[in-house]
Amino acid sequence: MIDTPARKSDIVPDTQHRGIVAALPQRLRDYALLARFDRPIGWWLLFWPCAWGVLLSGGQARWDLIAWLLLGAIAMRGAGCVYNDLVDADLDRQVTRTASRPVASGRVSKRAAWIWLLALCLIGLVVLLQLRWEAQIVALASIAPVAAYPFMKRITWWPQAWLGLVFSWGALVGWSELRLDRLEVLALLYAGSIAWVIGYDTIYALQDREDDALVGIRSSARALGGKVRGGVAGFYGSAIVCWAAAFWLLRPDLIASLALLPMAAHLIWQVATLMPGDNDNALARFRSNRTAGLLMALACWVVGNA
């Protein structure tokens, strides 16, 4: 077979940076696709709660820590995707959007995928060693929920809630690296992040509702049915309430709390313009949460360091 820049089967609607991935030789490209390096939105969403924890705890000068956590998010999101594809290979073959994934399609063997997973975890280990021991323990505690996540879609209609626990964990790590007090503030930051994740991943799951129904995969998008917009609004609203309470407990200053308004406005825009029956619209709203994460990071910087 002639090696073209990118096979049509490599390109799915949520692929980004096609030029970078397409420039790789086919074998390396498959490993990049397996770790979702063509979809940077995933590691941005994993990274932002890490940055929130650092910035809200007063770590405005710890750009070294933020950089390490970004590297860790890229590596561990990749590792999580490889693990997910190993677990879900049989299901992925039955869903149009995922059938061409490297393991599901057979382009990468399961043995090679496990080796790639180990390599990514070693990068994560390097990042882990940069943290103090308390933060290391918090980070390691995430292994069990991460390992359980791929199975949630088989046993619950709300796998997005479990993803919220996992993708928000970085807030706990970032905070515990700098301080171990004011845990009520951290709890509210974490709870708000979980609600945010459930909201945006429900939007993402809209793309797969028909295929998921055919193969029996459960999701919040299917559970909510025709009430998806209202459900997303509820989760986003809960996130804002939790974050506003966290900000107020840490710094009872109305002016500082106004820093949350841009994030709130962005989430309102997502809900107001969401079209549940339009996959392109849902994907665009999902991707916009990279901007939402930045807006929340700026709010945490203002409140944590004012």
Q: Give me the mean pLDDT over the 86-107 stretch.
A: 78
Q: Is 106 left (phi over 0), alpha (psi -120 to 50) or beta?
A: left
pLDDT at 163 over 80: yes
Instruction: Choose the most confident range, by mean pLDDT, from 39-43, 66-70, 213-217, 274-278.
Output: 66-70
Helix (H) or strand (E) holding 75: helix 63-92
pLDDT at 9 over 60: no
CA distance 62 to 190: 20
- Angle in degrees, CA 194, 198, 204, rounded to 5: 140
Tell me the pLDDT band of 98, cut-offs 50, 70 and 90: confident
- Angle in degrees, CA 206, 197, 105, rounded to 5: 55
SS3 content of the chain, % helix, strand, coil (to 5): 75, 0, 25
What is the largest distance, in Å, between two alpha-carbon atoms of the chain? 65
Model pLDDT, residue 27 = 84
Looking at every residue in the chain, the average pLDDT score rounds to: 88
Asked if residue 173 lies in contact with residue 135, where contact means CB atoms within 8 angstroms, the answer is yes
| Side-chain-facing half-sphere of 30: CA atoms under 13 Å | 19
Tell me the pLDDT band of 94, cut-offs 50, 70 and 90: confident
Q: What is the token pair recorded at 172?
A: 């706990």
CA–CA distances in Å: residue 153 to residues 39, 140, 158:
21, 23, 7
Asked if residue 77 lies in contact with residue 42, where contact means CB atoms within 8 angstroms, the answer is yes
Taken in order 56, 68, 123, 120, is the CA torsion positive or negative?
Answer: positive
